Structure 1
Amino acid sequence: MSQATYRVPTFVRGVLSRLPVYPGSLLFSGGLNVVLKRHLPDDTLKQLEGRLLRIDVRDAGVVFDFVYRDGAFRAARHEGEVALTIGASAYDFLQLARRTQDPDTLFFSRRLTMEGDTELGLLVKNSLDAIDLSTLFAARVGPMAAFRRRRPTQQP
């Protein structure tokens, strides 16, 4: 099936694009703090300090503006000069997160865009590539294993 098949439906885009930006950015930056921040090197975080970043989920009509400041990712208002905008479809962002698609392949096929400070974009890309996803998700999912439904043991 082609990538064009995986698009946010027009009706959903219409609803999502009308939502205020800041609450979504607040949730997104909170997720970055919980899942990602502790896995990023200190020198990367230092270079992100005070820089306005934007994630643009094009087919959903949604953007997330955030900044790294005072030791945490924080939601930012949709205003001012953006240091780096990374844009793609929801499907392509999912593929990147699952690491089933290479960012360079998406970039050169024009499905992933970077606008603004390209050096900062490469820093973000390389830092994310260096993260071992097995440790990233094991830390979040592992504790939940205790709550999984257990199968009854078979009696001989």
Structure 2
Amino acid sequence: MLSPREGLLRLADRVLPLTARVPFLVQRVALERSLNRALAEPLGEGAFDVLNGHWLRLEVADLGLAWCLTCERQHLRIAAQAPVDVTIRGNWREFLLLASRHEDPDTLFFRRRLVIEGDTELGLAIKNLIDSLDPDTLPAWLWKAMQTAGAEVARQPVAGAVAR
């Protein structure tokens, strides 16, 4: 019998791929608003200045999703296409492990569960930025949800390297 957490992860495996069908404009507006609100403190402190004048492409390979991000005037901006400097690619579970801190970022990259392509110096700076963010800047309910889901993903067997 599945635990409630396992059931939620199986549901996520079925529902998350549907997000690729959401029009990009809706994705962009939702992500920009959510990220800029949740990361307001580090954005205001200049933590994301490393992205000023640079574009990062985040690809969630197993969901068929990708977004290009930059930072302008202490706000994250998202585009469908941009002159990308660096790409970070992985499956949704690996990004969850990274965000919830249930897996060391270096381990995820070393084992090729997350991949950096392009300007690796910029990619490493972004990886370090993500790793340095204080979870206390996130809404408590969001951090708790990420921690709970990340703990369940961490308990499961590793799927392997990222598909291209």
TM, length-normalised to structure 2: 0.67
Matched ranges for 1:1-156 at <5 A: 8-9=13-14, 13=17, 15-39=18-42, 41-42=45-46, 44-76=47-79, 78-133=80-135, 135-137=136-138, 140-141=139-140
The answer (yes or no) to whether the contact 2:105–2:131 under 8 Å persists in 1 is: no
- SS for the counterpart of 2:33 is helix
Bigger mean CA offset, 62-71 vs 17-26: 17-26
In 2: Cα distance, 1:51 partner to 1:63 partner: 16
Displacement of 1:57 in angstroms is 0.8
Alignment coverage as a number of residue pairs? 131
The answer (yes or no) to whether the contact 2:49–2:74 under 8 Å persists in 1 is: no
The answer (yes or no) to whether the contact 1:21–1:63 under 8 Å persists in 2 is: no
Higher Rg of the two aligned structures: 1
Identity of aligned residues (%): 34
**Change in 2 beyond 3 A, CA 1:54/1:26:** farther
Unmatched runs of 5 consecutive residues or more in structure 1 = 143-156
RMSD: 2.5
**Change in 2 beyond 3 A, CA 1:80/1:131:** closer
The answer (yes or no) to whether the contact 1:26–1:74 under 8 Å persists in 2 is: no
The answer (yes or no) to whether the contact 2:61–2:91 under 8 Å persists in 1 is: yes
The answer (yes or no) to whether the contact 1:25–1:66 under 8 Å persists in 2 is: no
In 2: Cα distance, 1:100 partner to 1:38 partner: 23
The answer (yes or no) to whether the contact 1:28–1:64 under 8 Å persists in 2 is: no
- SS for the counterpart of 1:8 is helix
In 2: Cα distance, 1:64 partner to 1:75 partner: 6
**Change in 2 beyond 3 A, CA 1:22/1:83:** farther
In 1: Cα distance, 2:99 partner to 2:84 partner: 23
In 1: Cα distance, 2:48 partner to 2:105 partner: 21
The answer (yes or no) to whether the contact 1:8–1:60 under 8 Å persists in 2 is: no
**Change in 2 beyond 3 A, CA 1:22/1:63:** farther
In 1: Cα distance, 2:108 partner to 2:87 partner: 15
TM, length-normalised to structure 1: 0.70
